[in-house]
């Protein structure tokens, strides 16, 4: 559908895409909408209610721009506003926030930290995606219930997912019209197959899916055909960016430090906020492919190894002997290394998969394997008790875990772990955080926008290494 660009105001416009539950189709709707609006020449910027890496990656691919996480648990309301408003520069016409789980689902019965609370905080209307499989008039009851549940929330439009036939659609539309005035602004026909291939952590990351480009293009065409794009843009609210929260350029540091980031098919779980936080502190980021690079680049003062799926690239990681050797040598020479989840696994001795053992870097004397069910899933809180190069003792760290990996064999004890787990699972017996020289490896993921101490500590460690190596 052709969209009249005169509907766009000088200030950006935005909305939240939410569902009644996980699996409602909101990611299909969000990716399709972003890609369709982008195809019209609109400047779109995606956000994802976190914690989330994979959905955020698909949103970023659809928008052609980084996607930022908005997590009300990991970040304060003020920090959330900084993340949201601080990225709405003149290059943004439309901001779209994809929620998670159900609209009112939070960490407790009060719905704390829910998508609804985020929409209210940002003063954005909600576009509700409803799975209509095997239901007709009941959909109207569900929508009416959501609308009345919290009068502070504005549900401004509906997208009907899993629409089987024209008759199915007509009955639902008529039922909704009889029960309220929230317009249906699009449908998603019942699809023969999943657009996004699934596996053990949910959706396959677009970096590992050869058909990612085709999938996004297909969703863009679906949205252009079945969504009323004009109506959706019209129901978005204008966003007035506070002057104090307007984007500001990064300030270069007095001495430039180079921090390597292992970013490839195996290690892809990075919050854009984390990378930007390092840059804002003056770091030069150097992207590294651990699958193909022969060695670490020269002149690094720090290394960041994020999470991901080392198990799907285990053979390639094991085969790259020269890279693993160069990393070991750099660590022995004092290179500060911060590793999360998949990065922790990579620094272990080996990974056991289907009866085969894949050798890894061997920095820590631990072997990992994969379980059939999640071994940790949810938010975590850590208390820093032991010495390390990145965090001051006594600091409380908020993060999250989501993994199928488990410790298969380890010769250490809980005394070797520097964090006490106050919430979550951690590495072993209620603790997390392996330390060797200037290396810190842990299962917990951290969001820099909610944990400013992370980037500061990382930069301090890198700058100290820079001074020592230069002197």
pLDDT one-digit tens code per residue, 179-198: 888 999 999 999 777 777 76
Helix %, strand %, coil % of the chain (to 5): 35, 30, 40
* Closest of 448, 459, 397 to residue 423, by C-alpha: 397
Residue located via tokens 């003062």: 301
First-to-last CA distance in the chain? Answer: 63
Reduce the DSSP state of residue 321 to 3 states and report it: helix
Annotated catalytic residue, options 67, 132, 146, 341: 341
**Cβ–Cβ < 8 Å for 98, 30:** yes
Tens digit of each residue's pLDDT (9 = 90 or more) over 288-330? 999 999 999 999 999 999 999 999 999 999 999 999 999 999 9
Fold match between 5-245 and 257-470? yes
Window from 9-23, 261-275, 294-308, 321-335 with minimum mean pLDDT: 9-23
DSSP string, 132-162: -TT-SHHHHHHHHHHHHH-TT--EEEEEEEE
Band of residue 354 on the pLDDT scale cut at 50, 70, 90:
very high
**pLDDT of residue 253 exceeding 80:** no
Reduce the DSSP state of residue 295 to 3 states and report it: coil
**pLDDT of residue 113 exceeding 90:** yes
As a whole number of angstroms, the distance between CA 357 and CA 367 comes to 9
Tens digit of each residue's pLDDT (9 = 90 or more) over 190-229? 977 777 776 555 678 887 777 889 999 999 999 999 999 9
Band of residue 3 on the pLDDT scale cut at 50, 70, 90:
very low
Residue located via tokens 């504005």: 154
User: Kindly report the CA angle at 98 between 97 and 103, in degrees rounded to 5?
Assistant: 110
- Look over the chain and give the mean of its residue pLDDT values, rounded to a whole number: 92
DSSP string, 80-137: HHHHHHTT--TT-SEEEEEEEEETT--SSTT-TT-HHHHHHHHT--EEEEEE-TT-SH
Percent of the chain with pLDDT over 90: 83
DSSP string, 187-235: EEEPPSS-SS-EETTEEPPGGG-TTHHHHHHHHHHHHHHHB-HHHHHHH
CA dihedral 115, 117, 122, 128 (to 10 degrees): 40
Q: Mean per-residue pLDDT for 387-398?
A: 97
* Model pLDDT, residue 247: 59
Q: How are beta strands 267-269 and 202-203 bridged, if at all?
A: unpaired
Reduce the DSSP state of residue 459 to 3 states and report it: helix
As a whole number of angstroms, the distance between CA 322 and CA 307 comes to 22
* Closest of 188, 143, 157, 161 to residue 36, by C-alpha: 188
As a whole number of angstroms, the distance between CA 24 and CA 377 comes to 20
Beta-bridge mates of residue 380: 399
146 counts as catalytic: no
Percent of the chain with pLDDT over 70: 94
Q: Which CATH architecture has domain 257-470?
A: 3-Layer(aba) Sandwich (3.40)
Tens digit of each residue's pLDDT (9 = 90 or more) over 119-159? 999 999 999 999 999 999 999 999 999 999 999 999 999 99
Where in the chain are the domains?
A: 5-245, 257-470
Q: How are beta strands 439-442 and 431-436 bridged, if at all?
A: antiparallel
Tens digit of each residue's pLDDT (9 = 90 or more) over 412-437? 888 889 999 999 999 999 999 999 99
CATH of domain 5-245: 3.40.50.300
359 phi and psi angles, rounded to 5 deg:
-70, 140
Q: In this structure, what token pair is assigned to residue 115?
A: 């998508």
């Amino acid at each position: 559908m052709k969209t009249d660009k005169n509907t766009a105001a000088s200030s950006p416009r935005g909305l939240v895409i939410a569902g009644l539950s996980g699996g409602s189709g909101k990611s299909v709707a969000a990716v399709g909408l972003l890609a369709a609006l982008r195809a019209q020449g609109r400047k779109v910027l995606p956000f994802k209610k976190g914690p989330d890496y994979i959905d955020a990656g698909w949103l970023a691919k659809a928008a052609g721009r980084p996607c930022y996480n908005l997590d009300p648990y990991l970040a304060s309301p003020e920090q959330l506003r900084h993340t949201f408003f601080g990225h709405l520069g003149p290059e943004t016409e439309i901001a779209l926030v994809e929620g998670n789980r159900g609209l009112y689902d939070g960490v407790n019965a009060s719905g704390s930290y829910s998508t609804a609370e985020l929409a209210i905080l940002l003063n954005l209307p909600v576009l509700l995606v409803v799975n209509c499989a095997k239901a007709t008039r009941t959909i109207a009851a569900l929508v009416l219930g959501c609308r009345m549940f919290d009068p502070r929330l504005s549900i401004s439009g509906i997208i009907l997912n899993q629409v089987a036939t024209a008759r199915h659609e007509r009955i639902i539309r008529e039922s909704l019209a009889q029960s309220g005035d929230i317009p249906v602004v699009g449908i998603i026909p019942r699809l023969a197959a999943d657009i996004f291939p699934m596996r053990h952590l949910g959706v396959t990351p677009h970096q590992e899916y050869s058909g990612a480009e085709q999938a996004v293009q297909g969703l863009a065409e679906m949205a252009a055909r079945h969504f009323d794009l004009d109506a959706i843009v019209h129901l978005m609210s204008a966003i007035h960016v506070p002057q104090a929260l307007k984007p500001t350029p990064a300030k270069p540091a007095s001495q430039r430090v180079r921090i390597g980031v292992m970013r490839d098919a195996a290690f892809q779980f990075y919050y854009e906020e984390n990378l930007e936080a390092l840059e804002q502190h003056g770091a030069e980021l150097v992207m590294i492919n651990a699958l193909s690079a022969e060695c670490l680049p020269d002149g690094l003062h720090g290394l960041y190894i994020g999470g991901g799926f080392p198990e799907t690239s285990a053979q390639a990681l094991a085969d790259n002997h020269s890279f693993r050797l160069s990393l070991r040598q750099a660590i022995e020479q004092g290179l500060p290394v911060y590793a999360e989840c998949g990065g922790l696994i990579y620094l272990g001795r080996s990974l056991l998969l289907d009866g085969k053992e894949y050798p890894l870097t061997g920095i820590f004397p631990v072997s990992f394997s994969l379980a059939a069910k999640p071994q940790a899933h949810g938010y975590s809180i850590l208390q820093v008790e032991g010495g390390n190069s990145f965090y001051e003792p006594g600091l409380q760290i908020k993060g999250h875990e989501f993994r199928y990996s488990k410790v298969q064999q380890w010769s250490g004890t809980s005394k070797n772990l520097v964090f006490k787990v106050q919430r979550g699972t951690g590495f072993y017996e209620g603790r997390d955080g392996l330390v060797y020289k200037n290396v810190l490896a842990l299962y917990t993921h951290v969001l820099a926008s909610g944990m400013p101490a992370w980037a500061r500590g990382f930069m301090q460690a890198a700058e100290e290494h820079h001074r020592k190596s230069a002197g």
